[in-house]
């Protein structure tokens, strides 16, 4: 099937406004994509090869990171970052309870204990005062999660971590293009991660991720861990990593074809970010008359210069579930970020979380709704979403 045929296919026969659709831009980039993919096929190496190295170098240039290590998902990137930083059994790691499950499940996977705290209203990023209050003698790290359109309060997090003598490991999976005080997301602490899941601001045709760091020890150990451990022995010896022979890694190599897609899409990233911002402004204007029913996103004031990158346009809505059902019936796809906070997830029940423990996060789980937002979205789609929301509340 050609890209042109693919682009003409309906995303969903019931959806006039899909939640995400990147086919038009793939059609636009098809010649470049085809050329890169054919080069991969000609070389005959399908993972951990030249295109991954080219992508790592390109992300280094874009973010200013000293080191970029491509892996096969944002979730793996978190696990390898934790392991590279020495997080393990007996350690506690503080993180917000309103986020995707990966930063918490990977803490558990390396044998440490996730410690959940509440979030700031509006920004939905970690409440730094709550994080400081949750610290104990066993606390080894804090994991701020940059969500939706903005970074966490990295100035306050940095101060807290320095006072407590703990690591800052950033879940910057959603945050490519976000900067704080002149430093790209993921580089304010010891390291961070990126996700290239298809819906992300920079997405590919499948799962892929990367670790960002300025720390050579983190970079070397991450390279060792992503490729079965022993495959990185030479790097480990050169870098002086102790007990390298005892390091058991995994298979987290990035696919070459996915890297080639990312290299092509990276060329349009700044344009895509600008388009996302334009769509967010259109949503703001379109929903301004519904302030009694809908709270539009707002960015939090920070102590350093920072910027918004609109990965998700998240509203808080009265009668959220009814609204989502009405929009779905109108052919408009939405998503809930996140239906249940992490401290109330069954897999973490043994940690003793109870309802009412983190009220800001729990309220957000009941009220937030993500509206369609992607660079190929048309202005008329925003109008259609706005009309449907207005119709729901004005009935």
- Say what the alpha-carbon torsion angle 105, 110, 111, 112 is, to the nearest 10 degrees: -70
pLDDT, averaged across the chain: 91
Q: What is the pLDDT of residues 24-36, one digit of tens each?
A: 888 888 888 888 8
Which tokens hold the place of 120? 């700031």
Least reliable range by pLDDT among 25-29, 54-58, 207-211: 25-29
- The pLDDT assigned to 56 comes to 98
Confidence tier at 230 by pLDDT (50, 70, 90): low
Query: Longest Cα pair distance anywhere in the chain, in angstroms?
Result: 69
The H-assigned helical ranges of 305-352 are 320-329
Which pair of tokens denotes residue 38? 């054919």
Distance in angstroms (rounded) separating the CA atoms of residues 301 and 380: 32
Q: What is the pLDDT of residue 290?
A: 95
Q: pLDDT (tens digit, 9 = 90+) per residue, 35-48?
A: 888 988 989 888 88
User: What percent of the chain is predicted at pLDDT more than 90?
Assistant: 80
Task: Tell me how crowded residue 197 is: count the other CB atoms within 10 A of its CB.
Answer: 18
Backbone angles phi, psi at 140, to 5 degrees: -110, -25
Average pLDDT over residues 203-228: 94
Specify the pLDDT at position 12.
45
Check whether 233 has a pLDDT greater than 80.
Answer: no
- Give the C-alpha separation, 244 to 229, whole Å: 8
Paired tokens of 230:
């022993």
List, for residues 320-354, the tens digit of each pLDDT value.
Answer: 999 999 999 999 999 999 999 999 999 999 999 99
* 4 vs 325, more confident: 325
CATH number of 269-394: 3.90.1150.10
Specify whether the backbone of 364 is left (phi greater than 0), alpha (psi in -120 to 50) or beta.
alpha
Instruction: Label residues 378-394 b or e (16+ Cβ within 10 Å = b).
Output: eeebbebbbebbbebbe
Residue 10, pLDDT above cutoff 90: no
Q: Which CATH architecture has domain 30-264?
A: 3-Layer(aba) Sandwich (3.40)
The confidence score (pLDDT) of residue 195 equals 98
DSSP characters over 269-332: HHHHHHHHHHHHHHHHHHHGGGTTTEEPP-PPP-SS-B----S-EEEEETTHHHHHHHHHHTTB
Q: What is the DSSP secondary structure assignment for residue 202, as one 8-state letter? A: S
Distance CA 304, CA 389 (A): 36
Whether 87 has a pLDDT exceeding 90, the answer reads: yes
pTM: 0.90
Whether residue 151 is predicted with pLDDT greater than 50 in this model: the reply is yes
Displacement of CA 335 from its chain's centroid (Å): 15
Domain residue ranges of the chain, discontinuous segments joined by +: 30-264, 269-394
Binning pLDDT at 50, 70 and 90, where does residue 236 land? very low
Q: Picking from 118-132, 138-152, 236-250, 280-294, which range would have the lowest pLDDT averaged per residue?
A: 236-250
Burial of 308 (0-12, 13-18, 19+ CB in 10 A): middle
User: Is the model more confident about 241 or about 297?
Assistant: 297
How many CB atoms are closer than 10 A to CB 191? 29
CA pair distance 232, 173, nearest whole angstrom: 25
User: pLDDT at position 33, please?
Assistant: 86
pLDDT at 375 (0 to 100): 95
Please give the DSSP secondary-structure letter assigned to residue 99. S
Residue 195: its H or E element: strand 191-195
């Amino acid at each position: 099937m050609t890209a042109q045929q693919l682009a003409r296919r309906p995303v969903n026969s019931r959806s006039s406004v899909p939640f995400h659709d990147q086919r038009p831009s793939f059609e636009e980039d098809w010649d470049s994509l085809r050329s890169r993919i054919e080069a991969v096929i000609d070389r005959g190496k399908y993972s951990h090869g030249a295109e991954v190295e080219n992508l790592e170098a390109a992300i280094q240039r874009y973010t200013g990171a000293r080191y970029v290590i491509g892996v096969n998902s944002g979730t793996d990137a978190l696990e390898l970052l934790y392991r590279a930083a020495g997080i393990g059994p007996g350690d506690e790691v503080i993180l917000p309870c309103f986020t995707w499950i990966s930063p918490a499940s990977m803490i558990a996977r390396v044998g440490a204990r996730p410690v959940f705290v509440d979030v700031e209203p509006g920004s939905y990023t970690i409440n730094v005062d709550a994080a400081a209050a949750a610290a104990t003698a066993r606390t080894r790290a804090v994991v701020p999660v940059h969500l939706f359109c903005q970074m966490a309060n990295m100035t306050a997090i940095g101060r807290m971590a320095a006072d407590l003598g703990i690591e800052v490991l950033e879940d910057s999976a959603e945050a490519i293009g976000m900067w704080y005080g002149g430093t790209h997301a993921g580089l304010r602490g010891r390291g961070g991660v990126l996700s290239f899941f298809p819906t992300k601001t920079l997405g590919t045709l499948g799962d892929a991720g990367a670790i960002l760091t300025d720390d050579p020890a983190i970079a070397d150990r991450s390279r060792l861990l992503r490729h079965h451990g022993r495959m990185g022995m030479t790097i480990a010896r050169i870098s002086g990593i102790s007990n390298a022979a005892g390091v058991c890694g995994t298979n987290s190599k990035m696919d070459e074809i996915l890297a080639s897609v990312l290299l092509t899409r990276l060329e349009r990233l700044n344009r895509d970010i600008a388009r996302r911002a334009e769509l967010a402004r259109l949503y703001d204007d379109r929903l301004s008359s519904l302030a009694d029913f809908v709270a539009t996103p707002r960015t939090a004031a920070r102590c350093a210069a920072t910027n918004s990158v609109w990965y998700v346009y998240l509203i808080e809505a009265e009668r959220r579930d009814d609204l989502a059902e009405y929009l779905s019936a109108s052919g408009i796809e939405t998503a809930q970020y996140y239906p249940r906070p992490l401290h109330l997830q069954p897999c973490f029940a043994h940690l003793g979380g109870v309802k009412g423990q983190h009220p800001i996060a729990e309220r957000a789980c009941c009220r937030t709704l993500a509206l369609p937002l992607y660079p190929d979205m048309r202005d008329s789609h925003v109008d259609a979403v706005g009309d449907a929301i207005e119709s729901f509340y004005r009935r």
